[in-house]
Amino acid sequence: MLLPNNDLKSKLSALSSSQALIEFDLGGKVVTANKNFLDAMGYRLEEVQGQHHSLFVDPVERETAAYREFWAELRRGEAQVAEYKRIGKGGREVWIQASYNPLRKRDGKPYGVFKCATDITAQKLRNADFEGKLKALDRSQGIIEFNLDGTVITANPNFLAVVGYGPDEVRGKHHRMFVDSAEQGAEYERFWEVLRQGEFQQAEYKRIAKGGREVWIQATYNPVRDASDRLVKVVKFATDITASVTERLRRAELQRGIDRDLDGIASSISRASQQAMSAASAAEQASGNTQSVAAGAEELAASVGEISQQVTRSLQVTGRAVEQANATSTGRHPGYRGWGLCRRGHPSRGRATARLHAGHGSLHPQPRAGVPARRCHPPRHRARSYPGAPGTLRHRACKERRVKAAQGRAGATSRSPPRVVTMHVRRRRAAVQATGLPRLAEPLQGAALQAGA
């Protein structure tokens, strides 16, 4: 095919089984291509044979001076090795790792170009994705790389802007230059020991910038391994969160102040609650006392009512007794001048006449019609006890009837009545005692008797 020697042909055949191979003349036209190359580009051999190499090149690139220089170097016999972006059938992008090798005659002059390529499209796209992510991180994150002993390898501009240093000020320095001296103890040593064991670290960290300024970062420390899976370095990705942490700390301090105030308010409420409970207990006790007072008042009212009823009954009994006493005194005072009416119906002198005329009752019938009212014989006539004295027996009989009538109304016994000349008050008190009144009515008896007197 390209080499006449059978040994070389066998080697070329082995290479063709795994590589994409294509041959060009010095003008850049396709001489031949193997199946791997045609499959990678999506063409058949008859579609590419005799076509210029520019068929596989981006239209923008084929017009550049770099592309023309590329072929000029090949014609001079200079090999070209690199990663190339090529355009397959239908405009599809294909990435290849290729070497363009000039073919020489026996005299050393070039007569063609032999290209050996490998399709690396998938790898290139994957690497491009990785690189895109790293570039995105580099634009937005602070990135710094450390050796496993903690010395700085490099730092991107974002990280340097946060800490305020230049690249030369941090390169080769230890990580502890960014750490507060109070934190560089055993815990800090364990931090780096864990990183050297391949474990990543993630947290919020307080770091010291240039001039002693405090900065806060959200960072991850990521151990990196090489192709042989050996740890070679630590890459740190950091974000400046100083403003948010400062605000959070301010709010936390404010919250602590509020908590202290709330604790005071809670204590006041607790005291007020205890006072309210004490007041409620006192009110309950007062309510119990009020109920007791009300019950006592109710009992007192009942007692007063009962006493009032007893007093009423006593007054009634006293009134009846007074009436009886009056009646008794009316019938038992024969010596009182002008007492009552005689049998003839003649009105006598004194207060008895006035009571009689006032309607207090009489022991005798009213004067007969047509009989002129005149005085009865005075009491001194009773002294005339000589036989045949006028009116003696009549007056005596009248007196006896009056006494007996008064005794019957008062319910008196058959014992001899008290003397008629006894004082009015004594007679009436005796009549009250004869009725058996309760002791509660004693204070009223005297007043009633005095009123009757």
Q: Could you read off the pLDDT of 390-406 as tens digits, one per residue?
A: 545 555 666 677 777 77
Phi, psi of 138 (to 5 degrees): -65, -30
Query: pTM to 2 decimals?
Result: 0.49
CA distances from 44 to 35, 49, 66, 100 (A): 9, 9, 28, 21
Domain ranges of the chain: 6-126, 141-240, 313-364+376-381+391-452
Tell me 49's DSSP state: T
- What element of type H or E holds 241? none
The pLDDT assigned to 427 comes to 64
Residue 314 has what pLDDT?
A: 74
* Rounded distance between C-alpha atoms, residue 403 and residue 418, angstroms: 11
Q: How confident is the model at residue 243 (pLDDT cuts 50, 70, 90)?
A: very high
Distance separating alpha carbons of residues 33 and 55, to the nearest angstrom = 14
Tokens of 319: 């009134």
Confidence of residue 238 (pLDDT cuts 50, 70, 90): very high
Confidence tier at 281 by pLDDT (50, 70, 90): confident
Q: How confident is the model at residue 437 (pLDDT cuts 50, 70, 90)?
A: very low
Indicate the average pLDDT of the chain.
78
Q: Given pLDDT bands bounded at 50, 70 and 90, which one contains residue 78?
A: very high
| Band of pLDDT at residue 325, cut at 50, 70 and 90 | low
CB-CB contact of 167 with 160 (8 Å): yes
CA 44 to CA 41: how far, in whole Å?
9
- The confidence score (pLDDT) of residue 361 equals 43
* pLDDT confidence bin for 410, thresholds 50/70/90: low
The mean-pLDDT minimum among 171-185, 191-205, 304-318, 426-440 falls in 426-440
Give the integer Cα–Cα distance in Å for 397 and 67.
Answer: 184
Q: What is the DSSP string of 115-135?
A: EEEEE-HHHHHHHHHHHHHHH
* Listed range (22-31, 72-81, 276-285, 391-400) with the worst mean pLDDT: 391-400
How would residue 435 be classed by pLDDT, with cut points 50, 70 and 90? Answer: low
Q: Kindly tell me if the per-residue pLDDT of 337 is higher than 60.
A: no
- pLDDT confidence tier of residue 429, bands split at 50, 70 and 90: low
pLDDT at 396: 62
Instruction: Please give the DSSP secondary-structure letter assigned to residue 29.
Output: B
Query: Are 162 and 215 within 8 A, CB to CB?
Result: yes
Q: Indicate the fold that domain 141-240 takes in CATH.
A: Beta-Lactamase (3.30.450)
pLDDT band at 4 (very low <50, low <70, confident <90, very high): low
- pLDDT cut 90: percent of the chain above it: 46
pLDDT of amino acid 274: 84
CATH class of the region 6-126: alpha beta
* pLDDT the model gives residue 27: 93
pLDDT score of 282 more than 80: no
Q: Count CB neighbours of 245 within 10 A.
A: 17
Give the Cα separation of 121 and 107 in Å (integer): 38
Q: Which of 8-17, 113-122, 359-368 has the highest mean pLDDT?
A: 113-122
Residue 323 has pLDDT above 70, yes or no: yes
Give the span between the Cα atoms of 271 and 262, in whole angstroms: 14
Q: Give the pLDDT band of residue 45 (cuts 50, 70, 90).
A: very high
Which three-class secondary structure state does DSSP give residue 361? coil
Q: Looking at the predicted structure, is the pLDDT value of residue 25 above 70?
A: yes
Residues 204-219, mean pLDDT to the nearest whole number: 94
User: In the structure, what pLDDT confidence band is assigned to residue 142 with cuts at 50, 70 and 90?
Assistant: very high
Segment 192-213 mean pLDDT? 93
pLDDT at 225 over 70: yes
